[in-house]
């Protein structure tokens, strides 16, 4: 028998967990396509290195940028590459559990399932990302107790309140880490008439971005291209201006959290007041995010131990206990 696989197809990162083995792949959700013949040239890390450095006919695509399938062919090729990397094709075909956004449509669900089957899976199962995150965070999701997960990814933020194995309240917005990067890019362009790349703005965010004042006190030097002279140039950015530049997406993430709390049944709000909010996803690592959410939502907040891996680890636990947990899976 092939070992079952769990795939977290994130907007920013793709992770694969193999049953009885653990995480075997962790790469950016990017592929490089030759637009002349549709050939996939690379995926993951290798494709990511190509962004912004490729000739015109090679494009790097983030196929899940908006949180779900925008291009079925590309997604299918990507799943095939992932399965190839995991050794599928050489071994008997595995069952595959795919973590998908809760806001996914029926058509998109079938597209993901179909893509996995065509790519060589023996069976394709789907699980909602917030449920997988809650399982990965060890929350008591099958009990009649409210658990709350805020998953801040690259292109999306999903806020879910879970009880008795299901999502009771969901807020999904198309705002995440990518929007924070874009806000930094726009700020540097407007304030310093300088162009910086996507990767540079992400580096700035990780180095000195923050959701609350006074949590960072270093400056960074940023290199880019002067928009007037067209020449390379550098400027110093301080954490306070970066914090103000990213306020809009950060506020949107907080607002989605508060909206979910205000829409949830009162009994569950009581539970969450005690159990707190579990923040996860790479965006949860933004400095000051835990404090900011706690301050605005008036609820304790804690970051899950491995925010970038929580979803795939949760799905991995489902694989390890396939028979007892498979009621969690959605049917496409
Ligand atoms: P997805 O599940 O959508 O693929 P991830 O959970 O992998 O997203 O998170 C990716 C996002 O997290 C990216 O936007 C990335 O820039 C951001 N990120 C990763 N590490 C940090 C950090 N230390 N501080 C702020 N943002 C971070
Ligand atoms: Mg994710």
Measured in degrees and rounded to the nearest 5, phi and psi for residue 232 equal -60, 145
pLDDT at 21: 95
Ligand 1 pocket: which of 154, 185, 202, 307 to mutate (most atoms within 8 A of CB): 154
Same domain, 87 and 58: yes
Same domain, 117 and 225: no
CA distances from 195 to 29, 155, 160, 186 (A): 24, 22, 37, 8
Q: Which atom of ligand 1 sits closest to the CA of residue 156?
A: 3
Question: If you measure from the C-alpha of residue 256 to the centroid of ligand 2, how many angstroms do you get, rounded to a whole number?
Answer: 16
Same domain, 180 and 146: yes
Same domain, 185 and 323: no
Question: If you measure from the C-alpha of residue 153 to the centroid of ligand 2, how many angstroms do you get, rounded to a whole number?
Answer: 5
Helix (H, G, I), strand (E, B) or coil at 91: strand
Same domain, 175 and 283: yes
Helix (H, G, I), strand (E, B) or coil at 253: helix
Same domain, 166 and 283: yes
Same domain, 275 and 198: yes
pLDDT tens for residues 79-123?
Answer: 888 888 887 766 688 999 999 888 788 888 888 899 889 888 999
Which pTM was predicted?
Answer: 0.94
Per-residue buried b or exposed e for 314-326, using 16+ beta carbons within 10 Å of the residue's own CB = bbbbbbeeeeebe
Residue that is written with structure tokens 């399982």 in the block: 135
pLDDT at 204: 98
Protein residues within 5 Å, CB atom, of ion ligand 2: 10, 153
pLDDT at 90: 61
- Name the residue with the closest Cα to ligand 1, atom 7: 13
CATH number, domain of 187, equals 3.30.420.40
Ligand 1 neighbours, Cβ below 6 Å, are 10-13, 29, 153-155, 176-178, 202, 205-206, 281-283, 285-286, 308
Structural domain range at position 210: 140-304
Total domains in the fold of the chain: 2
pLDDT at 332: 44
Same domain, 267 and 321: no
Q: DSSP secondary structure string, 120-134?
A: T-SEEEEEEHHHHHH
- Could you tell me if residue 6 is left (phi over 0), alpha (psi between -120 and 50 degrees) or otherwise beta? beta
Same domain, 289 and 193: yes
Question: If you measure from the C-alpha of residue 155 to the centroid of ligand 2, how many angstroms do you get, rounded to a whole number?
Answer: 9
Closest alpha carbon to 167 in 204, 124, 135: 135
d(CA 161, CA 112): 25
Question: If you measure from the C-alpha of residue 270 to the centroid of ligand 2, how many angstroms do you get, rounded to a whole number?
Answer: 27
Question: 149 has which bridge partners?
Answer: 160, 278
For residue 87, the 8-state DSSP code is T
Ligand 1 pocket: which of 12, 62, 100, 203 to mutate (most atoms within 8 A of CB): 12
Helix (H, G, I), strand (E, B) or coil at 3: coil
Q: Which residues of the chain have a pLDDT value below 70?
A: 1, 51-52, 67-71, 89-91, 325-328, 330-332
Question: 158 has which bridge partners?
Answer: 151, 172
Same domain, 210 and 319: no
Same domain, 37 and 107: yes
Same domain, 40 and 19: yes
d(CA 200, CA 219): 14
């Amino acid at each position: 028998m092939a070992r079952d696989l769990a795939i977290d197809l994130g907007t920013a990162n793709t992770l694969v967990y193999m049953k009885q083995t653990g995480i075997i792949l962790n790469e950016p959700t990017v592929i490089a396509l030759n637009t002349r013949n549709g050939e996939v040239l690379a995926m993951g890390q290798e494709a990511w290195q190509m962004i912004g450095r490729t000739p015109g006919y090679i494009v790097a695509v983030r196929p899940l940028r908006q949180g779900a399938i925008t291009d079925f062919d590309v997604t299918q090729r990507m799943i095939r590459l992932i399965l190839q990397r995991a050794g599928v094709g050489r071994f008997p075909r595995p069952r595959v559990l795919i973590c998908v956004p809760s806001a996914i449509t029926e058509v998109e669900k079938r597209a993901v399932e179909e893509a996995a089957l065509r790519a060589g899976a023996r069976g394709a199962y789907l699980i909602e990302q917030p449920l997988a995150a809650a399982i990965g965070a060890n929350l008591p999701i099958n009990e009649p107790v409210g658990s709350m997960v805020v998953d801040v990814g690259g292109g999306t933020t999903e806020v879910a309140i879970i009880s008795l194995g299901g999502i009771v309240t969901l807020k999904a917005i198309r705002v995440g880490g990518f929007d924070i990067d874009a806000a930094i890019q726009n700020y540097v362009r407007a304030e310093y008439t300088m162009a910086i790349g996507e990767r540079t703005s992400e580096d700035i965010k990780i180095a000195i971005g923050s959701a609350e004042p006074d949590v960072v006190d270093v400056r960074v030097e940023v290199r880019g291209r002067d928009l007037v002279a067209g020449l390379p140039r550098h400027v110093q950015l301080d954490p306070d201006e970066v914090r103000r530049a990213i306020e809009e997406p950060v506020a949107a993430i907080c607002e989605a959290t508060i909206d979910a709390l205000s829409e949830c049944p009162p009994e569950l709000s009581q539970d969450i007041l005690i159990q707190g909010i579990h923040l996860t996803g790479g965006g949860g690592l933004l400095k000051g995010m835990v404090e900011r959410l706690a301050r605005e939502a008036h609820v304790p907040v804690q970051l899950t131990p491995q925010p970038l891996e929580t979803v795939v680890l949760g799905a991995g636990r489902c694989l390890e206990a396939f028979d007892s947990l498979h009621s969690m899976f959605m049917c496409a």
